[in-house]
Chain A
C-alpha cells in the first residue's frame, strides 16, 4: 500500500509560492523595462487622436482628423512635407519620430466628457498611445487632460477656448496651442472701441458651461474696462435650439449690442434667431444695433450663412493668413482635401508636429522629457507667426485674429475676413491672473506613469 505525500493544502501552498516566484521576475522586468507609460519598444510609435466623430461637432472633428492624418504623413516623410519645410525647429526629418514610424488610432469624444475619457483611456491602455490630441470642447479638454495626467501621457489639446484649460485646471502633462477666452476679449476690445465707440450697452447670452462662463467673464471685463455697460447676462442651456424667447427681451432692454457667448450649433441658431428678429436693422440709443460673436470658426460661419455678414469675432487662425507657414499648410491641406483648413484643423496639425518635435529634441518619448522640451519653447513656421509655449501654464502665446463676417463673399470658403492681427503682447497676461485660477493655480508635477 502506498501513501501519497500530496495534500490539498500542500498543493495550494506550493502552487502559490511557485506562481509568485515565476511572476516576480516578470513584474520586475516590466517595471524596469518601461520607464514611462507606453514606452515604444518596436519600430513604431502610436499617437491617439481623440476627436468628435459623432454628435453635433462631428464635422469639426472630421476636419481635425484630416489634419492629424496629414501631420502623420508629413512626419513619416510622405506628401509635400507641409510645415516641416517652414518650421523653425529643424529637428524633424520626415523619418517618423526618433526613427520610429508614426501610427495612429482614433477615438470618438462624442463631445461628452465621459465618452471622451473612455475613448482616451482605451487608446492609452489598449492601443498603447503615447500622446492624446484633439477635441472641440473645453469640458472635454479639461476631462481628458486630467486623465492623461493620471495615466502619464502627454495631452496636446485641440480646440479648447475656456480659460480654465490652462487656468485653474492646468496640468503638467497638458499643453494648449489654441488661444483662450481672455485673449479673444483682449484682442476684440480695441477693435470694438474703434468701430462701435466706448459708450455702448451690451446684453450677453451665454452658453451655460465652463467655456461660456469664462468667455462671458472675459469679454464683460474687457468691454467694461473701455466704458461699456453690461445690461445683463442670461445663461442659456447648452441643449437650447430655439433662442427666440431669449432674443425677444433684448428688443425692449435698452441694449444696443448683443454679445453671443455661444459656439457651434448654439451660435448658429442664436445668431439666426437674432437676425430673424431684425436686431441688426434696429437703432437703439441713437446707434445701429450690433452683434458680437467672440469665438468664430469656419464651420460655424458656413452654418450661419448670410447672417454673419458684418458680425465681429475672433479666431486662433484663418487660412487667409499671409505667412510662410500658413501658405505651406493651406497648400498641403487644400491639395489633399480640396478645401482650406479650419482653425481647429490647424491647431491639431500644429500640436502633432510640436509634440513630435519636442520628442526629437528631448531624445525620448518620456513625457517628462517632452514637457521640458516644450516649456518655454519659441517657434515659428506653423501658420500663426512667432509663438511661445509659456512654461508656467503651458499656454501658447501668439497673434490673435479679429475677423468679420464677409460682406461680399466671392466663394463658399470666403466667409470671414481678417480685420486685424492683434500682436501677442496685447493679449498676454500673468500666469497667476485671477481669471486663470490666481495664485492657487498650479501645473503640479510631471507624471511619466508606469
Chain B
C-alpha cells in the first residue's frame, strides 16, 4: 500500500512538470496555431535563471590565505561572496540559500520578455507558413538556445539545491499510520504547479482578457471582425505560456541539476502529453500530464520491469497509441477544434 501511494505521489510530481510544459504548448498551439519546439528550451532557460541568480549571489572577492595551500602548493585563494560582506555572514548566507525561490522574481520578467521577443522577432513570420516550417524554425531555435547555454555554463549538470529549510523528507502518511516519506521540495513543486495551473485557468475563465482569448481560440476571424486586436492578445498569451514553462523550470532546478539538454528531455514527452490530452485542450493537457506521469511511475517499479522488461521505456508511447486508436482527438479533444 505504501509503495503504491509513493508511486502515485511520484507520478503526480513528475506529471506536474509535464502538465506545466504541456499547458504552455497547448496555449501557444491553441492561440497561434504554432507547434513550438522551442518550448522545452524555455523550460531549460527557466532552470538556468535559478542557476544564474545562484551564481550571481555567490559572486565573490578573493583574499589570500597564506596559512593554506592550493593544489599546486601556492597560497590558497579564499573566496567570500559580496552579499556576505555587505549584509553580514548570516543574512548573506540566507540570501544565497534562498536563491531558487528568489529566482522566480527574476524569471517572470525574463521569460515574458523572451516570449515577446521570440514571438515578435521570429515566430510571427511563420504564421502563414506550413507546420513543417514552424517546426523546423522552432527546433532550430531550441538548438541555438541550448548551445548558448552550454557555451556559458558547460555541459555538466549544475547543482542548484533548495533552501535548507525545504531540504529533507516529510512523512506524508504519519497521520494515517502509513510510512510515506517524500522529499519536501517535491511536495513544494507539486503545490506550486497546482497553483500555476489554477492561476492560468482562473485568468482565462474569469477575466475579460481571458474570455476574449478563449473566443479567439474558438473563432479567431469573428473576434477580429468585432474590432478586437486578437493578435496582440495572442502575443501576450505566448509570453504567458513562456512564463509558465520558465517558472516550471526554475522550481525544477533543485529536483534534477539543470543541464543544457534538459529541455529536449521533456519536449518529446510533453508533445505526447498534448496529443493524448487532445490538441488545443487545456484541461486535457493537464489531465494527460498527471495521468502519464503516474503511469510512467508505475511502469518503473521493480514489479513492472520484471514482468514486462522495458515497459518503463515505452509505456507513454504505448498509451499514446492506444488513446489515438480509440479516441483520435485525444482524451479531451473536441470535434472541430484545431481541425481543418
Q: Are A334 and B256 in contact (CB under 8 A)?
A: no
Known: A244-B14, A245-B14. A272 touches B156 (CB 8 A): no
Which residues of the other chain, B, contact A268 by a CB distance below 8 angstroms? 157, 257
Among the listed B76, B182, B296, which residue makes an inter-chain contact with A245, where contact means beta carbons less than 8 Å apart?
Answer: B296
A-B contact list, 24 entries, CB within 8 Å: A55-B261, A59-B154, A244-B186, A245-B300, A246-B300, A249-B7, A249-B301, A249-B302, A252-B2, A269-B157, A273-B255, A273-B256, A276-B169, A277-B181, A278-B168, A299-B156, A302-B156, A303-B156, A307-B159, A334-B72, A335-B72, A340-B71, A410-B76, A411-B71
Q: A252-B2, A272-B257 are in contact. Are A234 and B302 (CB under 8 A)?
A: yes
Q: What's the nearest-Cβ distance from chain A to residue B44, in Å?
A: 12
Contact status of A248 and B3, CB under 8 A, knowing A59-B154, A302-B156, A305-B161? yes
* Min C-beta distance of B297 to chain A, whole Å: 4
Which of A181-189, A220-228, A235-243 has 4 or more CB atoms under 8 Å from chain B? A235-243
Q: Give the contacts of A296-336 with B (CB-CB under 8 A).
A: 299, 302-307, 319-320, 330-331, 334-335
Of the candidates B157, B185, B305, which one forms a contact with A265 in the assembled complex, judged by CB atoms under 8 Å apart?
A: B157
- CB contact between B7 and one of A55, A59, A234, A248 (< 8 Å): that residue: A248
**Residue on A with the closest CB to B293?**
A245
How many angstroms between the C-alpha atoms of A320 and B73 in the bound complex?
Answer: 12
Q: Name the residue on B nearest A307 (C-beta).
A: B159
B71–A235 contact, CB under 8 A? no
Q: Are B155 and A237 in contact (CB under 8 A)?
A: no
Q: A57 within 8 Å of B by Cβ?
A: yes
Closest 4 CB pairs of A and B: A305-B159, A58-B155, A278-B169, A245-B300
In this complex, what residue of B is CB-closest to A414? B71
Q: How far is the CB of B158 from chain A (nearest CB, A)?
A: 7
Taking a contact as CB atoms closer than 8 A, the residue among B7, B76, B161, B169 that contacts A281 in the complex is B169
| B256 and A330 within 8 A (CB) | no
Flag if A269 contacts B186 (CB, 8 Å): no
| Residues from 1 to 50 in B contacting A, C-beta threshold 8 Å | 2-3, 6-7, 9-11, 13-14
Contact residues of B between 137 and 159, Cβ < 8 Å to A: 150, 154-159
Digitize B289-327: 1 where CB-to-A-CB distance is under 8 Å, 0 elsewhere: 000000011101110011001001100000000000000
Q: Is the CB of A245 within 8 A of B72?
A: no
Question: What residue of chain B has the Cβ atom nearest to residue A238's Cβ?
Answer: B313
| A253 lies within 8 A of chain B by Cβ | yes
Does the CB pair B159–A251 fall under 8 Å? no
Residues of A within 8 A of B2 (CB): 251-252
Q: A55-B155, A299-B156, A305-B161 are in contact. Are A277 and B169 (CB under 8 A)?
A: yes
Given A245-B296, A245-B300, A411-B70, also A57-B155 (CB < 8 A): yes
A331-B3 contact given A242-B14, A276-B183, CB 8 Å threshold: no
A15 to B199, CA, bound (A): 81
Known: A249-B3, A268-B157. A319 touches B71 (CB 8 A): yes
Task: Determine which of B157, B255, B302, B313 lies in contact with A232 in the assembled complex, contact meaning CB atoms within 8 Å.
Answer: B302
Given A237-B312, A249-B3, A330-B71, check contact A272 B302 (CB 8 Å). no
Whole-angstrom distance between the alpha carbons of A58 and B155 in the complex? 6
B3 touches A252 (CB 8 A): yes
Asked if A377 CB lies within 8 Å of chain B CBs, one says no
CA distance A229 to B312 in the complex (A): 25
